[in-house]
Amino acid sequence: MNRTTLILFFIILSNTITVIHGYVRGCYYTNWAQYRDGEGKFLPGNIPNGLCTHILYAFAKVDELGDSKPFEWNDEDTEWSKGMYSAVTKLRETNPGLKVLLSYGGYNFGSVIFTGIAKSAQKTERFIKSAIAFLRKNNFDGFDLDWEYPVGVAEEHAKLVEEFAADYWASKGMPKEKIIIGIPMYAQGWTLDNPSETAIGAAASRPSSASKTNPAGGTASYWEICKYLKEGGKETVHQEGVGAYMVKGDQWYGYDNEETIRIKMKWLKEKGYGGAFIWALDFDDFTGKSCGKGPYPLLNAISSELEGESENPEITTEEPSITETEAYDTDETEETSETEAYDTDETEETSETEETTYDTDVTEGQECPEPDGLFPHPTDCHLFIQCSNNNAYVKQCPATTFFNEAIKACDHMTNAPDTCQ
């Protein structure tokens, strides 16, 4: 994602983000990757054991009053089953040094609610108390505040978190060991205007075609890039820019591979930064079947450079028990202002829509055409039905968007049919 403003804060209860004997290796887990079909489906059981020092669970939300809320129907435990929160925090049983954080916000959440909270001392206090209670209830170690867009909100953002870390904000500079460098596990893609002109800077007037991880186009996971290479794509490593790009027909993708990541990790250590975080686990070749280099080739490159060789990571296999009866009702309508679907830790400007889900309400009376998938709402083009195990969940697209059945994502109203107002 090309972020105009990216403000990330790792706030650890009763601890510090700095790993005493090593570098931070933060890994985002996305709670919507569970809905992908086939090889892209990602569950807590796919998270590697030992490659990450911190797991950041994306995303939770906060309402306009400052109260914390889960985002997905199966995030929290119910009377009938353990939720995804528990499945991820349980990983500490086999990795006692692991910290599991809950990430609030994200690209699709927008900035309206965060800005409103930051401007109100009462709402700020309520959010702080709510966050602490919510984290403790669900057994998290801390939280990550992922506040994006618009530019120029730093002062209000500082007000929001100063009660957590007043001494830090009073300082005149952030120590380098506290700065964590972001590394994408995905590629940014464009469609070339002239397929014979492929160098960096070649003209491209629209995003790349749809990928399995982004039906709207504009991005592709690293495991998809490996597949494109096997299908005839040509990879070039740009030494000066320390990045790789691949061309396959008129499709152009820029990304990091193992080689460029190792170079960047050496740079990170030379500069004295505190570590790296990735977006996201489900975009690396987590099965090891696409690139042919074992599970998590990119994350292993980070780990081996920062902590020494870490080959053949143990992959946990236990998955959460998910009930097939009606599940958790968030009972909340979320106010959002940004329009995009599918979030990469760095989702692209070239990607107009993405596959992330939005506001969740469990609604009786709706039927699933198929057991799993996204489907249009029968009466409201701004809503869609998310089906999981034949349970129907009505969700609302962000403001100024509609559900585009063709791409299975929320899309800008400029692309809406005349019947959708």
Could you tell me the two tokens for 60? 């939770």
Quote the pLDDT of residue 162.
34
pLDDT score of 326: 32
- The answer to whether residues 96 and 39 touch, using CB atoms and an 8 Å cutoff, is no
Q: Which amino acid is residue 289, in one-letter code?
A: K
- pLDDT tens series, the chain, 421 aa: 333 333 344 444 433 444 445 899 999 999 999 999 899 999 999 999 999 999 999 999 999 899 999 999 999 999 889 999 999 999 999 999 999 999 998 877 777 888 888 889 999 999 999 999 999 999 999 999 887 755 444 444 444 433 333 233 334 477 778 788 889 999 999 999 999 999 999 999 899 999 999 998 999 999 999 999 999 999 999 988 889 999 999 999 999 999 999 999 998 898 888 899 999 999 999 999 999 999 999 999 999 999 854 444 455 444 444 333 333 333 333 333 333 333 333 333 333 333 333 344 444 467 888 877 788 999 999 998 887 667 788 888 877 788 888 777 787 787 888 899 8
Which is nearest to 289 in space by CA: 377, 226, 247?
226
Global pTM reads 0.69
Give pLDDT, residue 148: 72
Catalytic residue ranges:
148
What pLDDT does 103 receive? 95
Question: Which CA distances in Å does 233 have to 228, 250, 299?
Answer: 5, 10, 23
Contacts of 304 (CB under 8 A, 6+ apart): 262, 310, 311
How far from 134 is each of 13, 51, 214, 298, CA to CA, in Å?
A: 12, 27, 31, 33
Domain spans of the chain? Answer: 24-185+256-307, 186-254, 373-415
Architecture of domain 24-185+256-307 in CATH? Alpha-Beta Barrel (3.20)
Quick one: pLDDT at residue 314? 52
Fold of 186-254: Chitinase A; domain 3 (3.10.50)
Residues 224 and 212: beta-carbon distance below 8 Å? yes
Q: How far apart are CA 233 and CA 235, in angstroms?
A: 7
Q: Could you check whether 24-185+256-307 and 186-254 share the same CATH topology?
A: no
Residues 132, 164: Cα–Cα separation, whole Å: 10
What's the pLDDT score for residue 240? 84
The model's pLDDT over 69-124, given as tens digits with 9 standing for 90+, comes to 999 999 999 988 999 999 999 999 999 999 999 999 887 777 788 888 888 999 99
**pLDDT value, residue 169:** 31
Residue 405: predicted pLDDT? 84
Q: What pLDDT is attached to residue 21? A: 52
Please give the pLDDT value at position 308: 54
CA–CA gap between residue 322 and residue 326 (Å, rounded): 10
